[in-house]
Structure 1
């Protein structure tokens, strides 16, 4: 039995199914529904995303912010992938890939192209996943009239690869968590304003910082330079880039390394997004 706990919009509903809180997505699934109503398990083609009860509201808000079309696209990609790869993917991909595609479209519309420096490795070492990414891009173009750069095939493949792994705890979790916390605090301090830590945008920013830290500790940082994009970011978003540069300087000095410009650009993009969407006006 699927019981409605909260209706976010006509396509996103927080429900309880067999004692587990879930986000349910489907066209019209929330229409004319209220708390306590029963949703038929077979009446609508749905996506279920299991979540922790204590994070349900925040998670639901994040899901509701992403246009339903991107979840539909992700579901199409997952269906193709599971048929081609012959195994089930982690349901977390419905959020991570949908969010990525939504953000990729936003970047494309603004003329910001962030290269995937693992393109060659993914294309050559994960040919099946890369091919699915290519098929997905073509399907997005013909079926949804959404055109993204060919490089996005490797990004889609990257999400498919991540969704194949389990949820094992990382032995380096403590040092990663420490660096994530340091970066986040540096950004909050350097911006000179309070940040709404309960917002979905803050949660998204944390996710991207975690990805950066993972790349850092696995020696997989984006190495090649893109001077034009770097200059463009400084011109468009100087405050965010200054904050990202402070993070770079800290890591360079603390870990005796050199963070590449591409990583500064990528971090700057997400800092700017956090500033635009999640800052609390304290004046």
Structure 2
């Protein structure tokens, strides 16, 4: 490969035999290197391609603002995510998560901490991603000596979920806020305080998540008219609350939510007070 640009002592952008850009990362790989010089990719500790030109440009713009040794550290983080998730993560995580963690460390060193009001909901919604995010918090502590606040676990989990679902973090965060709002509706409507550690809470929050997914994808369940009539008669409080929740979902998502969701929500709500 030939060097197109040495970004710093440890990172070079090269051109491969197909004339595509490849980023090589390795200690000293860019030291005193000039454009056009050959470099052996075997000498690199990490090799990766960003296929999307816009993502390449964002990555190059980000690099001057982060420490040189942070780049190989982040690739250890990304490798850990891929190994644990069992799938290749979308390349946009290279920019999004690198940027987030770099500035989370900077904020923490300056004593600035961001609160995360959706932490409990994030853990329940994305359990695998949340568990991996906890690992990453420990990796960050070992790398930098900085112990990030617990709220960062949820934020990193959202980035992981974004990368494996091809959804924007902002979209996923919107769904988390919606779930949080709907849970508050349930507590106020039933005049209860839900124990976040119970299986019924976990089932409810998972159902709401999948209801949102079904609404956004247009996948609906089979007709439940007969069961709906029974539940409406037997559990009017929960049935009416379920309808209110569905209407809020429709308004927030700007998409139709199938009436069958009312049936399943009614069952989950009744479990909370039954």
TM-score by length of 1: 0.54
Q: Secondary structure at the match of 1:37?
A: coil
CA RMSD of the aligned region, Å? Answer: 3.1
Q: Which runs of 5+ in 2 are unaligned?
A: 182-251, 253-274
Report the more deviating stretch, 215-224 or 2-11.
215-224
* Counterpart residue number, 2:126: 126
Give the aligned length.
181
* Counterpart residue number, 1:148: 148
Q: Is the 8 A contact 1:141 1:147 kept in 2?
A: yes
Aligned-partner Cα distance in 1 for 2:44–2:124? 39
Q: Which runs of 5+ in 1 are unaligned?
A: 168-209, 225-256, 258-283
* Counterpart residue number, 1:117: 117
Give the C-alpha shift of residue 45 in structure 1. Answer: 0.6
Give the C-alpha shift of residue 36 in structure 1. Answer: 1.1
Q: How does 1:266-281 map to 2 (within 5 A)?
A: none
* Counterpart residue number, 1:9: 8
Q: Is the 8 A contact 2:13 2:23 kept in 1?
A: yes
Greater Rg, structure 1 or structure 2?
2
Q: Is the 8 A contact 1:22 1:51 kept in 2?
A: no
Q: How does 1:74-93 map to 2 (within 5 A)?
A: 74-93=74-93
Residues 48-82 of structure 1, C-alpha deviations (whole Å, 9 max, x = no match):
24155578566423223222333333222222222
Aligned-partner Cα distance in 1 for 2:81–2:176? 28
Q: Secondary structure at the match of 1:220?
A: helix
Give the C-alpha shift of residue 215 in structure 1. Answer: 6.9
TM-score by length of 2: 0.56
Q: Decide whether aligned partners of structure 1 residues 31 and 25 sit closer, same or farther in structure 2, where only a CA change above 3 A counts.
A: same
* Counterpart residue number, 2:100: 100
Q: Decide whether aligned partners of structure 1 residues 130 and 53 sit closer, same or farther in structure 2, where only a CA change above 3 A counts.
A: closer
Q: How does 1:183-262 map to 2 (within 5 A)?
A: 214=171, 220=177
Q: Secondary structure at the match of 1:163?
A: helix
Give the C-alpha shift of residue 100 in structure 1. Answer: 0.6
Aligned-partner Cα distance in 2 for 1:159–1:216? 10
Residues 196-230 of structure 1, C-alpha deviations (whole Å, 9 max, x = no match):
xxxxxxxxxxxxxx966x47976838989xxxxxx
